[in-house]
Amino acid sequence: MTKPTDCGCNEYRELSRRGFLGVAPGAALAAAAAAAAPAWVPRVALAKDHNSARDVLVNVFLRGGADAINMLVPAGDPDYYGSRPTIGVQSGDLIPLNGTTFYALCKPLAPLATAYNAGHLAFVPACGTGDPTRSHFDAQKFMEFGTPNQPASNIFSGWIGRHLQTTPPKGGPIRGVAISNTLPKALAGGPGVLPIRNPANFTLAGRAATADERTRALLELYETYPDPMGSAALDTVETIAILNQLDIANYQPANNAQYPTSAFGTALKSAAAMIRGDIGVEVIEVDRGGWDTHASQGTISGTMQALMDDLAQSLAAFYADISASHLSTTTVTVMSEFGRRCEENGSLGTDHGHAGMMMVLGGNILGGQVYGQWPGMGLQYRYNGLDLKTTTDYRLVLSEIVQKRLGNPQTAAVFPNYTAGSFLGIAQ
């Protein structure tokens, strides 16, 4: 056993290869702090240098093609109710938003109004990749790889992965965490990224008596192995040590934030614990599936209501939670692979469409506003006569976030073959 180290320096990775329990001294300090403090305190202070110039990014992907038209409702569009005679959200079920009479929130999203009215949540309707595909899987891939309209692309890394590649340090641990069973494509190629199903239970199973030696052996087994498995082994071992210090299972949210007990709510709660624990995590991805509402999607009751409830209540709890200490250093981006058809179908649902919507939340987001332009739902305004046109490229929004909030000027590397125009001015 090499001597433990509390190093927060550039050699962290190299040292921890030899002393993977390197955060142990932090545990002692934090345990002392915990004894004095009534509230939850992470058992580790700083696992490594936290670059305060960069926000922690929480990327939320709504898989399935969320029906943005019925979330941020364009009630002022004269063709809205005509396109959706049955599933259009009635005026009594709309939550007005400051600064706009054109848009309003569908009632289940009401919990988001707090962040919006506080100026911390922005909406970008009619936003998307602009790629013509209506395939979920291609659309997700293009959005996550950052390669829409590039059918011959041979890029297999994600935009978040490339952001991490182009910012120090070169390795892990725990630069990116996907609360997931598999690695989302957006994080592909990123140094120090791991999928973790449940960060509150990330421990090494087996005999405790041999845990240290088995850990050493595991590191040896993978030491010279190529990526993605080789680096994942070291990142896994180090992350086990870090998350063990953090004690997410006993996390107590701030401001009495009440997370839904859903998988999504629980994942955002773990995300908040990691952010408030200052463990150095830079990106956390949390996905929410189920948005492929071809049939019986409902308005303020039914499938869409359940989806929106979970999304809004979870995000609202997260917002309240991080507001205590980390609002100004956290940015949340929410996207979906495409929006849905302007017109409802015969199943009282909506088929795959084109433009969707982005939401951006954070202490340094110029929120309380709706950005971009509304293309119109009338037949003459539609993409291919069917769908909402894309008026804002999602890469424009993300380039601004990457540059201003993630402190990375290399947006051309993050989004190759794309030249961002003037930023929306959505972030400080």
Partner 1 sequence: MTSHVLSETEQRLADVVAHATRTRSRSSGVSRRGFLRVGAGTAAAAATLGLVAKPADAGMRRAIAAAGGATTDPKLTLVKRATQGFSLLDYALAHGLGYGGWLSYQINHTKIDDSAVNAMLAPLTTLTMTPQQLYDAVQNSSLTAGTIYRELAEATMVRSIHSPRQLFERMVEFWTNHFNIDWNDGAVRYMLPDFDRTVIRQHAMGYFPDMLKASAKHGAMLVYLDNNTNVVGRPQENYARELLELHTVGVDNGYTQTDVQELARALTGWTIENVRSGRLGTFRFNPRGHDTGAKTVMGLVIPPNQTGTDDGDQVIDYLAKHPNTAKFIATKLATWFLGENPVPAAINAIASTYTATGGHIPSMLRVVLSQPAIATATPKIRQPRGHLTSMFRSTLGQLAVGTNRTSIVNELTLLGQLPHRWPTPDGFPDDIASWGKALHPRWNFSARYCLNQVRIATVDVVSLLPLVQAATPGSQAWGINLILTGGTMSEEEQYTVQDFIDVHDGTAATIRDAFGLAGSAPSAQLY
Does the footprint of partner 1 cover residue 154 (CB under 8 A)? no
Work out which of 124, 164, 194, 248 binds partner 1, going by CB under 8 A.
Answer: 194
Binding mask 130-149 for partner 1 (x = CB under 8 A): ---xxxxxx-----------
8 A C-beta contact, residue 72 and residue 355: no
Half-sphere exposure of 39 (CA within 13 A, CB side): 9
Does the footprint of partner 1 cover residue 243 (CB under 8 A)? no
Does the footprint of partner 1 cover residue 289 (CB under 8 A)? yes
Does the footprint of partner 1 cover residue 207 (CB under 8 A)? yes
Region binding partner 1 by CB under 8 A among candidate stretches 31-39, 68-76, 205-213, 328-336? 205-213
- In Å, what is the CA distance from 347 to each residue of 54, 87, 297, 342? 46, 10, 9, 14
Work out which of 88, 280, 339, 349 binds partner 1, going by CB under 8 A.
Answer: 349
Q: Which residues contact 386 (CB under 8 A, 6 or more apart)?
A: 341, 342, 343, 353, 354
Work out which of 247, 285, 292, 393 binds partner 1, going by CB under 8 A.
Answer: 292
Q: CB neighbours (10 Å) of residue 349?
A: 21
* 333 bridge partner residues: 59, 360
Work out which of 310, 343, 393, 400 binds partner 1, going by CB under 8 A.
Answer: 343
Work out which of 28, 37, 53, 221 binds partner 1, going by CB under 8 A.
Answer: 221
Work out which of 30, 57, 94, 188 binds partner 1, going by CB under 8 A.
Answer: 188
Does the footprint of partner 1 cover residue 222 (CB under 8 A)? yes
Tokens representing residue 60 in the block: 């939320």
Does the footprint of partner 1 cover residue 155 (CB under 8 A)? no
Q: Is 35 exposed, middle or buried (0-12, 13-18, 19+ CB in 10 A)?
A: exposed
Does the footprint of partner 1 cover residue 423 (CB under 8 A)? no
Chain residues 47-66 in contact with partner 1, contact rule CB under 8 A: 63-64
8 A C-beta contact, residue 281 and residue 275: yes
Pick between residue 232 and residue 398 the one whose CB is nearest to partner 1: 232
8 A C-beta contact, residue 356 and residue 392: no
- Over the range 188-226, which residues count as b (16 or more CB within 10 Å of their CB) and which as e? bbbbbbbbbeebbebebeeeeeeeeeebeebbeebeeee
Pick between residue 3 and residue 207 the one whose CB is nearest to partner 1: 207
Does the footprint of partner 1 cover residue 249 (CB under 8 A)? no
Work out which of 25, 100, 197, 413 binds partner 1, going by CB under 8 A.
Answer: 197
Chain residues 71-110 in contact with partner 1, contact rule CB under 8 A: none
**For the chain, how many residues are written?**
428
Region binding partner 1 by CB under 8 A among candidate stretches 19-27, 39-47, 215-223, 359-367? 215-223
Does the footprint of partner 1 cover residue 256 (CB under 8 A)? no
Does the footprint of partner 1 cover residue 208 (CB under 8 A)? no
Pick between residue 246 and residue 257 the one whose CB is nearest to partner 1: 246
Pick between residue 73 and residue 194 the one whose CB is nearest to partner 1: 194
Q: Which residues contact 263 (CB under 8 A, 6 or more apart)?
A: none
How many chain residues interact with partner 1 (CB under 8 A)? 60
Pick between residue 17 and residue 63 the one whose CB is nearest to partner 1: 63
Work out which of 31, 295, 379, 412 binds partner 1, going by CB under 8 A.
Answer: 295
Rule CB under 8 A: which residues touch partner 1? 63-64, 133-138, 156, 181-183, 185, 188, 193-197, 202, 204-207, 210, 213-214, 217-218, 220-222, 224-225, 227-230, 232-233, 235-236, 240, 289-290, 292, 294-296, 343-349, 351-352, 384, 386
